[in-house]
């Protein structure tokens, strides 16, 4: 195991030694005199509200909005008191409930949709503009990107003993994988067979789906997405985007030669194995927009397999359906059929099955493997990181898992901000998708089954 230590989160900044229990909606029952704060956090506003708890009914309380956390302190004459904490980064959407003409008890207030599957509703009095004040301030701090404010990580003043960005060091990680002796480091993020010439690399990227500038494409398309894991001599696990074949069947001789060199570097098998994460029909359809897949004519020394994993839009809709059946109430009588209708576990199964195929081909088959989807930073990251988790016990340690996430997800360009919607108020953005959440679910399934 590498000797570098990693930053540890100080939980004492968020809670004290008081006893507490957590309800289904995340409510903490604590014996506190005041709400704990994160370092550097300041109170912005507080208002009287009624929390419409889906389990216990309406409860009077007081909303306290800090620069990092939105809290509800229930002011009932009870012991212990109730504190509902909602980190601002968890908030996905804020909507006004009711209007000036609304009648009926608790029909005027705010609805808050969270990324952790909670839906929170607060009723307020119509007089005094309290709803407007809370809505404006909460929207401002929950969505800093939309209001030109700093993100939470730059506001939190907690001190860490180590620099978390240094958890993953590319050179240290490659040195740890000492089995691949015949490679030298061409760029910081890539190891490649020494026989690949620079002029070839500078042109390979043109045959792949990449919207980056030429220099960046050289680093990340031609090099950085390839040769990221070595389990035995000359056995390589690679990752990339789809090739730009199009309807006309365009070919790129340099790219074809490049993959052939990767195959030849192995010497133990006659073909390079390519796993395309997409369903076959989707890969064919991508030709209409200039994409495609590796055909037999252009890549006679490669074998191609489709893993039938659907795209980000299918996963987003699947999670929405899952949320509908688990919060706030679970209908026990139709639970299994309702769960099946979400297709969430089916998607988890397909991702895990694909990762198993990749790991088995590298480990048992001693074959070099190329993995890609449409863009190379969603399904591809899931497959390669899960396969590495299966192949290398180091990644199953806390430090190793941190290295794995930073290497396979962050350094290779997974769009965390777009997929999760960090700081952005556009709840309906079609780029949002639970790709990393799905990966974490896969890891949980691996650890439990």
Q: CATH no. for residue 69?
A: 2.30.29.30
Q: Residue 39: left (phi > 0), alpha (psi -120 to 50), or beta? A: beta
pLDDT at 249: 58
| In contact, 410 and 96? CB cutoff 8 Å | no
- pLDDT for 431 equals 94
CA distance 238 to 244: 18
CB-CB contact of 109 with 122 (8 Å): yes
Q: Consult the annotation and say whether 312 binds a ligand.
A: yes
Q: Residue 242: its pLDDT value, please? A: 61
Q: What was the pLDDT predicted at 279?
A: 92
- Given 120, 155, 190, which residue is the final one in a domain? 155
Query: Cβ–Cβ contacts within 10 Å for residue 41, how many?
Result: 19
Q: What does pTM read for this prediction?
A: 0.80
- Please tell me the least confidently modeled range out of 222-226, 247-251, 400-404, 442-446: 222-226
Strands in 272-276's sheet, in edge-to-edge order, are: 229-232, 235-240, 369-372, 272-276, 302-306
The answer to whether 13 is annotated as binding is no
Q: What pLDDT, on a 0 to 100 scale, did the predictor assign at position 283?
A: 82
Distances (CA, A) of 422 to 93, 134, 143, 147, 435: 12, 20, 8, 13, 14
The answer to whether residues 141 and 85 belong to one domain is: yes
The residue count for the chain: 449
373 assigned binding-site residue: yes
| Alpha carbon distance 354, 233 (integer Å) | 23
Catalytic center residues? 373
Specify the DSSP element, H or E, that contains 200. helix 198-204
Better-scored residue on pLDDT, 217 or 144: 144
Residue 26, number of CB atoms within 10 A of its CB: 16
- Please answer whether residues 244 and 209 qualify as being in contact, where contact means their C-beta atoms are separated by less than 8 angstroms: yes
Could you list the residue range(s) of the whole structural domain that residue 75 is in?
Answer: 12-155
- Do 175 and 276 have their domain in common? yes
255 in the same domain as 400? yes
Asked if residue 61 belongs to a domain, the reply is: yes
The per-residue pLDDT for 193 is 53
Determine whether the annotation assigns residue 433 to a binding site. Answer: no
Can you say whether the dihedral through the CA atoms of 47, 52, 54, 55 is positive or negative? positive
Q: Residues 358, 304, 365, CA angle at the centre, nearest 5°?
A: 40
**Using CA atoms, how far apart are residues 279 and 310, in angstroms rounded to an integer?**
7
* 368 is a domain residue: yes
Evaluate whether residue 2 is within a structural domain: no
Last-in-domain residue among 155, 181, 204:
155
With a cut of 80, say whether residue 169 has pLDDT above it.
yes
The SS3 call for residue 265 is: helix
In a domain? residue 171: yes
Of residues 209, 195, 307, the one with CA closest to residue 260: 195
- Average pLDDT (317-328) is 94
Among the candidates 155, 188, 205, a domain finishes at: 155
4 belongs to a structural domain: no
378 is in an annotated binding site: yes
Q: Higher confidence at residue 240 or residue 45?
A: 45
Report the pLDDT averaged over residues 24-45. Answer: 67
Number of domains within the chain = 2
Report CA 222 to chain centroid distance, whole Å: 24
- Residues 6 or more apart from 131 whose CB is under 8 A from it? 96, 108, 109, 110, 124
Same domain flag for 292 and 348: yes
Q: Are residues 209 and 252 in the same domain?
A: yes
Which secondary structure element, helix H or strand E, spans residue 401, and what is its range?
helix 398-405
Tell me if 315 sits within 8 A of 441, measured CB to CB.
no
Residue 172 and residue 125 share a domain: no
Residue spans of alpha helices (H) in 108-182? 130-142, 152-155, 170-176
Please report whether residue 108 resides in a domain: yes
Query: Quick one: 136 and 173 in the same domain?
Result: no
Is 161 domain-assigned? Answer: no
Of these ranges, 228-237, 277-286, 380-389, the one predicted with the greatest mean pLDDT is 380-389
Residue found by looking up tokens 């012991």 in the block: 79
40 annotated ligand binder? no
Do 234 and 125 fall within a single domain? no
In a domain, 390, yes or no: yes
Percent of the chain with pLDDT over 70: 73
Whether residue 391 is found in the same domain as residue 270 = yes
* Residue 203: pLDDT over 60: no
Same domain, residue pair 206 and 139: no
Q: Are residues 191 and 279 in the same domain?
A: yes
Q: CA 395, CA 381: separation in Å to the nearest integer? A: 15
Please compute, for residue 256, the number of CA atoms within 13 A of its CA located in the half-sphere on the CB side.
Answer: 14
CA dist., res. 342 & res. 339, Å (int): 5
pLDDT at site 219: 26
Same domain for 433 and 403, yes or no, is: yes
Q: Which residues touch 84 (CB under 8 Å, ≥6 apart)? A: 25, 26, 27, 28, 51, 71, 72, 74, 120
């Amino acid at each position: 195991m590498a000797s570098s230590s990693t930053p540890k989160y100080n939980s004492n900044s968020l809670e004290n030694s008081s006893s507490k229990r957590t309800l289904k909606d995340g409510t903490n029952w604590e014996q506190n005199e005041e709400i704990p704060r994160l370092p550097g956090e300041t109170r912005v506003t507080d208002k009287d509200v009624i929390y419409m708890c889906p389990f216990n009914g309406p409860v009077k309380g007081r909303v306290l909005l800090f620069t990092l956390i939105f809290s509800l302190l229930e002011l009932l004459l009870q012991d212990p008191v109730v504190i509902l904490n909602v980190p601002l980064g968890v908030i996905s959407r804020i909507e006004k409930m009711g209007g000036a003409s609304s009648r009926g008890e608790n029909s005027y207030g705010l609805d808050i949709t969270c990324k952790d599957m909670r839906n929170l509703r607060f009723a307020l009095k119509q007089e005094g503009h309290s709803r407007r004040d809370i809505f404006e301030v909460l929207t401002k701090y929950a969505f800093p990107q939309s209001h030109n404010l700093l993100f939470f990580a730059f506001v939190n003043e907690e001190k860490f003993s180590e620099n978390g960005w240094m958890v993953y060091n590319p050179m240290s990680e490659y040195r740890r994988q000492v089995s691949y002796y015949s490679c030298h480091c061409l760029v910081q993020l890539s190891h490649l067979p020494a026989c690949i010439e620079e002029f070839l690399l500078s042109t390979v990227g043109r045959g792949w789906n990449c919207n980056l500038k030429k220099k960046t494409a050289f680093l990340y398309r031609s090099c950085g997405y390839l040769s990221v894991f070595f389990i035995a001599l000359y056995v390589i696990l690679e990752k990339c985007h789809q090739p730009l074949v199009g309807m006309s069947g365009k070919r790129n001789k340099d790219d074809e030669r490049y993959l052939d060199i990767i195959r030849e570097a192995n010497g133990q098998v006659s073909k390079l194995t390519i796993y395309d994460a997409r369903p076959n029909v989707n890969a064919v359809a991508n030709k209409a927009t200039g994409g495609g897949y590796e055909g037999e004519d252009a890549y006679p020394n490669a074998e191609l397999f489709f893993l039938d994993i659907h795209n980000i839009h299918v996963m987003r809709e699947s999670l929405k359906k899952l949320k509908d059946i688990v919060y706030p109430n679970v209908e026990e009588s139709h639970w299994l059929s309702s769960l099946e209708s979400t297709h969430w576990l089916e998607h988890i199964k397909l991702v895990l099955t694909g990762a198993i195929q990749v790991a088995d081909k590298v480990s048992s088959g001693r074959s070099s493997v190329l993995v890609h989807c449409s863009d190379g930073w969603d399904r591809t990251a899931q497959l390669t990181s899960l396969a590495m988790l299966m192949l290398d016990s180091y990644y199953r340690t806390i430090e190793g898992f941190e290295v794995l996430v930073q290497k396979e997800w962050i350094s290779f360009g997974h769009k965390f901000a777009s997929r999760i919607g960090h700081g952005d108020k556009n709840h309906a953005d079609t780029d949002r998708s639970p790709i990393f959440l799905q990966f974490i679910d896969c890891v949980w399934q691996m650890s439990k089954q």
